[in-house]
Structure 1
Amino acid sequence: MVRFVKCGLLSLAGICLFISSYAQDAVAQKYAAYIDAADARKHLSVLSSDAFEGRETGKPGAAKAAKYIAEQFKAMGLKGPVNGSYFEDVPLTESSFRIKTSLVNKKPFTFGKDFYITGTPVSASVSANQVVFVGYGITSDNYDDLKNTNIAGKVVLVINSGEPVQNGISAVTKTKDLSDWTYIRYKRIKFLQSKKPALILAASPVVNQYLAEDANYFTSPKLAIKGKKSDIDNNVPVINITTDLADRILASSGKTYNDLKTAIDNTLSPKTQVIKTGISFAFEQKLKDVHAADVLGYLEGSDLKNEVVVFSAHYDHIGLNPDGPDKVNNGADDDGSGTTAIIEIARAFTQAKKEGHGPRRSILFLSNVGEEKGLLGSEYYTDFNPIIPLERIVTDLNIDMIGRVDPAHYKNPDYCYLIGSDKLSTELHQISEKANATYTRLTIDYKYNDPNDPEQIYYRSDHYNFAKHNIPIIFYFNGVHEDYHKPGDEISKIHFDLLVKRAQLVFYTGWEVANRDKRLVVDVKSDMRPER
């Protein structure tokens, strides 16, 4: 069971005890009131309309959304910080696959039903009459699937999740704590690729689930930052396969995927073996350039203007749904709600400046593209072309889905998940807690702040690309609901009272960070793993 993170975090009851000791800032309250439901509804009605076609990165609908956001920034008086423009071009490359051959023992297996592909060269052709089953694909001091096994030039089949555990004890760590082999994405794939096999067949029940839920996503063309070296070795193809396909590959051994996994777990010893199986696999990729852009609006501060507070949200979504009765994934919550929130927060800050109460620190409103494709827009900003240099950025307050209620909170919808507030800066966490206790009084849920939470939400939105550069962050989130990444994510289901209250919490936190005398101190060594 996933636990709440409690250490160092005030409970709601504790917050309530101290509310009376926090003085409210009447000026901040005045401008927080500019974040209102009517205006939020106006913007979200546009952003989540069918005319924007689900705002998929690289498609006309996303370009329309970017144009709309820039128009709002301009109308408020925000500056375009990209040489006078509001757009930072994000160069992307789209890759699409053509499967030429996919056979196990001369019988076909199917792209989108039995497998999807990651980490590949532009083209590949592999044929073999045997497969090396390498268990979990782990080599460590206490456990080694590859001991005395050379996989160079061979086809390997690996259990692509977890590690051997018996009675709650890991074979790798010899404790109840799981190792990085479980938590760090691509660790085992990178390790296996370093051994130069011809092909990796990565099997997991998660592949069954993914392909059953949304095969189109995993077979549609993929985007990447142009020129960026892949996280994994593109010279060794990786096929992510279902456990059903793994069973077909293992058939001659008389064992199934679950049989071998259970045998390893029960004995905590490797079951590496050669399986006589015919494999033929060949494909090629088609590559093309794609245009996309982040949208930036800049509000200059006063005496501390060289320091910058970032408010971010991604404006892209997953696009059209050609096979369903509802053809558009409108993404009202994901992340139309966050995009609406930063427009509203920008409205509050610009009005404050017009009336002589502008922030001391400058503010960057960053509307990111490509989040749904792998955090691409924010990664391009932080890693390739930071328009405002990273050393000037004090914090990133990132908003992704704040307009709905998840099943865990149906009985208490006045809540918000916060992730990351205490990971790098004690002061930021204290400011956030105080802002909520003083003004919005939401129930703050830190469930996803746990580094061992299986959902690993900390790594799944744009704040991560700032946090990895040691910039304090907070991620505001309402949790996953029944319409996540589905056509049912419609504006009719948005709770605008909650959207506004959650956006006001972000505003109040940002107001304090932007106006305090001292810059936030980074004084915490994060307990989150450095890689996602």
Structure 2
Amino acid sequence: MNKKNLLFLALGLSLQTFAQSPVAQKYAGYITAEDARKHLTILASDEFEGRETGKPGAEKAAKYIAGEFQKMGLTAPVKGSYFQDIPLIETTFEVKNFIANQKPFTYGTDFYFSGSPDANSITTKEIVFVGYGITDSAYNDLKNIDITNKIVLVINTGEPVKNGTYLITKSDKPSDWSITRNKRIKFLQSKNPALILAVNPAVAAILKTNASYFTSGRLSIKQDAAKPKQTLPPVINITADIADQLLQKSGKTYTAFKNLIDSTSAPQTQVVKADLSTSFGQKFKDVHAVNVLGYLEGSDLKNEVVVFSAHYDHIGLNPTGPDKVNNGADDDGSGTTGILEIARAYTKAKKEGHGPRRSILFLGNVGEEKGLLGSEYYTDHPVIPLERTITDLNIDMIGRVDPAHKDNPNYCYLIGSDKLSTTLHKISETANSTYTKLAIDYKYNDPKDPEQIYYRSDHYNFAKHNIPIIFYFNGVHEDYHKPGDEVSKINFDLLVKRAQLVFYTGWDLLNRDQKPVVDVKNNMPASR
């Protein structure tokens, strides 16, 4: 074949690759604002009480989703059921006392714990102040000191900076010690102290708005006996007032120590005499919750599966405000609505003889707001073996516009499309350029982005099993996790367009000859 023929063939293949499919467009058209509004008005109604995991509202939402799956004719893949039971346990954390130099402080008002550590009683006559808790060639708070089994007090924000120049980077840009969430805490935990007291001025504001979160029960997956949880040194997040009380015998306040480090560029690590006693423990209660699954079988490649996921839970009631319900219309009523609409489009296609070659699992996850619990349980106990799962397309918040895009709402954040598979990224880009033409924003795809969004929705539990993923997201807005996240503020045309992007991406994945190959070493750390 001569070069001219090769050129024409290449051009023809290129045009074919990027040509719109009338069949795909026909069924994408079944994703409509009218139908989306109907679903979301029910899911985000006051009747569903904010859909908190383990509460009646979430159970109502699960039954509604399952009912819609049944109406569409999706198969119930969990031994004839649409529900995958998730064995959860509610841990209520109790602090019996916290006394610093004879002054008592109150859990949920003056301090909070990260996680729910095992029961313990700690009494000490001294603590180790470790400054910023940083170890670096340019600056080392832990040089020549062993904090094993010690009570340590750490400045849990920032790093040494003088006249606008950061000591570690020697520039006006902070290092990973400031940017990467929990880096210093994980580093200190690796040194096996008995307790970490993490002081941050932001703690007071966090407690003011979220006290009930820390004092109410927390959910986790009931662990198998063969899979014990790893025990890490407990972390207590404290206000500057508590830090000052603990540092009283040093003659310096928390702020004075911080300013001294910054001004001298030298660590101030030292043992400080301090009387501290605290006792804490847990109460446990079993909680019932379910993932909701619907299955659409493919044809010649039916053993391979594409997952479309969204979490249907939200944060529940708001007992202190005039509006008592956190309706969660955007988070993640919009994603759940998107899944229902996409399922409707694919089931309609199959009924009319245009079903997918690969199979589809529509996965409504519970417990996302409690720590990605439903997706964690599913990927540890998959209904369809993970080796048959080729991609997870995860939708979490697609109905609003964030402040960064108020002047150009025709956008969507995509996270993770290129982290494991170059093919998946190309499929995604092509679907958008061919059909939806949204402005794709990859801001949160950066491993150094401080929000660490990659780890904060259900796709993460697939990605950690080396399954390619894409996360669709509209960004954080002023009503995030607030009662103002109402149906009346949803942009349904935009919700539909973003859901159609997911549909078109899925259409290619489901019908192409070759599945996406995992050919990229993920540049996101294994955990945040």
Cross-structure match for 1:448:
444
Given the superposition, is the C-alpha separation of residues 374 and 192 from structure 1 closer, same or farther in structure 2, using an over 3 Å criterion?
Answer: same
Q: Secondary structure at the match of 2:525?
A: coil
Q: Does 1:279 align with 2:276?
A: yes
Cross-structure match for 2:320:
323
Cross-structure match for 1:513:
509
Q: Is the 8 A contact 1:205 1:243 kept in 2?
A: yes
Task: Give the deviation of 1:276 after TM superposition.
Answer: 2.2
Cross-structure match for 1:527:
523
Per-residue CA distance 1:31-80 (angstroms, 9 max, x = gap): 00110011111111111111111111111111111111111111111111
Given the superposition, is the C-alpha separation of residues 121 and 24 from structure 1 closer, same or farther in structure 2, using an over 3 Å criterion?
Answer: closer
**Which residues in structure 2 correspond to 1:381-420 (within 5 Å)?**
381-382=378-379, 384-420=380-416
Q: Is the 8 A contact 1:415 1:442 kept in 2?
A: yes
User: Which of residues 302, 325, 329 in structure 2 aligns to 1:305?
Assistant: 302
Q: Is the 8 A contact 2:180 2:448 kept in 1?
A: no
Cross-structure match for 1:77:
73
Q: Secondary structure at the match of 1:129?
A: strand
Distance in 2, matches of 1:311 and 1:257, equals 49
Distance in 2, matches of 1:272 and 1:95, equals 36
Moved more, 491-500 or 130-139: 130-139
Given the superposition, is the C-alpha separation of residues 267 and 181 from structure 1 closer, same or farther in structure 2, using an over 3 Å criterion?
Answer: same
Task: Give the deviation of 1:230 after TM superposition.
Answer: 7.8
Distance in 1, matches of 2:210 and 2:63, equals 29
Task: Give the deviation of 1:195 after TM superposition.
Answer: 4.2
**Which residues in structure 2 correspond to 1:347-426 (within 5 Å)?**
347-382=344-379, 384-426=380-422
Cross-structure match for 1:429:
425
Cross-structure match for 2:8:
none
Q: Secondary structure at the match of 2:345?
A: helix
Q: Does 1:289 align with 2:286?
A: yes
Distance in 1, matches of 2:306 and 2:152, equals 48
TM-score by length of 2: 0.91
Given the superposition, is the C-alpha separation of residues 91 and 488 from structure 1 closer, same or farther in structure 2, using an over 3 Å criterion?
Answer: same
Distance in 1, matches of 2:44 and 2:161, equals 45
Q: Secondary structure at the match of 1:217?
A: helix
Q: What amino acid sits opposite 2:505 in the alignment?
A: T
Q: Secondary structure at the match of 1:240?
A: strand
Q: What amino acid sits opposite 1:497 in the alignment?
A: D
Cross-structure match for 1:63:
59
Q: Is the 8 A contact 1:185 1:531 kept in 2?
A: no
Cross-structure match for 2:19:
23
Q: Is the 8 A contact 1:204 1:242 kept in 2?
A: yes
TM-score by length of 1: 0.90
Distance in 1, matches of 2:135 and 2:86, equals 38
Cross-structure match for 2:469:
473
Distance in 1, matches of 2:60 and 2:460, equals 26
Per-residue CA distance 1:243-293 (angstroms, 9 max, x = gap): 332233223323333333343345443221122222121122111111111
Given the superposition, is the C-alpha separation of residues 493 and 434 from structure 1 closer, same or farther in structure 2, using an over 3 Å criterion?
Answer: same
Distance in 2, matches of 1:41 and 1:139, equals 53
Per-residue CA distance 1:419-451 (angstroms, 9 max, x = gap): 111222112111111111111111111111111
Task: Give the deviation of 1:458 after TM superposition.
Answer: 1.0
**Which residues in structure 2 correspond to 1:32-431 (within 5 Å)?**
32-139=28-135, 143-164=139-160, 171=168, 181-182=177-178, 186-227=182-223, 233-234=231-232, 236-382=233-379, 384-431=380-427
Given the superposition, is the C-alpha separation of residues 46 and 281 from structure 1 closer, same or farther in structure 2, using an over 3 Å criterion?
Answer: same
What's the C-alpha RMSD, in Å, of the aligned pairs?
A: 2.4
Q: How many residues align?
A: 512
Task: Give the deviation of 1:113 after TM superposition.
Answer: 2.0
Given the superposition, is the C-alpha separation of residues 343 and 158 from structure 1 closer, same or farther in structure 2, using an over 3 Å criterion?
Answer: same
Q: What amino acid sits opposite 2:440 in the alignment?
A: I
Given the superposition, is the C-alpha separation of residues 165 and 82 from structure 1 closer, same or farther in structure 2, using an over 3 Å criterion?
Answer: farther
Moved more, 274-283 or 365-374: 274-283
Percent pairwise identity: 70
Task: Give the deviation of 1:146 after TM superposition.
Answer: 2.6
Distance in 1, matches of 2:199 and 2:289, equals 34
Distance in 2, matches of 1:516 and 1:86, equals 28
Q: Does 1:502 align with 2:512?
A: no
Given the superposition, is the C-alpha separation of residues 379 and 170 from structure 1 closer, same or farther in structure 2, using an over 3 Å criterion?
Answer: farther
Cross-structure match for 2:5:
none
Task: Give the deviation of 1:99 after TM superposition.
Answer: 2.1
Distance in 1, matches of 2:53 and 2:111, equals 24
Task: Give the deviation of 1:456 after TM superposition.
Answer: 1.1
Q: Secondary structure at the match of 2:494?
A: helix
Task: Give the deviation of 1:389 after TM superposition.
Answer: 1.4
Q: Is the 8 A contact 1:419 1:476 kept in 2?
A: yes
Distance in 1, matches of 2:374 and 2:17, equals 41
